[in-house]
Copies of this chain bind each other. A is one copy, B any other.
Amino acid sequence: MNAHTNKMVVIITEFSIKDRVINTIEGLGVKAYTIESHLSGRGTRGIRDDNVLLGENIKISVITNIDIADKICAAVATQYLKHYAGIIYTLDVEMMHP
């Protein structure tokens, strides 16, 4: 199959800023992404349990080209990740369809 190599940007952050992060990403021209909810985890902001009070973690994945990937990382990190818990990482994936 003629696959094309792409970057996948993964953002793990707080549920409470889901809509704002999505807005920011869409503002960079991104029209496709996947969201997973109800994650728990531990990081520099301590344990983030999937509970009703503190809110859970979510994971936003975007498969895109390297330029947009860099822009997403920069925008989300500077706009949100000072006060909100969260990490961003990228990995190489091959898009097989479409």
Interface residues in chain A, defined as those with a beta carbon under 8 Å from any beta carbon in chain B: 1, 3, 6, 8-10, 12, 31-44, 50, 57, 59, 63, 70, 73-74, 76-77, 81, 86-98
Contacts and interface: CB of A to CB of B under 8 A. Distances in A.
A7 B74 CA distance: 22
Contacts of A91: 8, 91-94
A63 to B, nearest CB: 6
Given A1-B74, A74-B1, A89 B81 contact: no
A56 to B, nearest CB: 10
Contacts of A97: 73, 76-77, 81, 86-88
Given A89-B93, A89-B95, A92-B91, A32 B38 contact: no
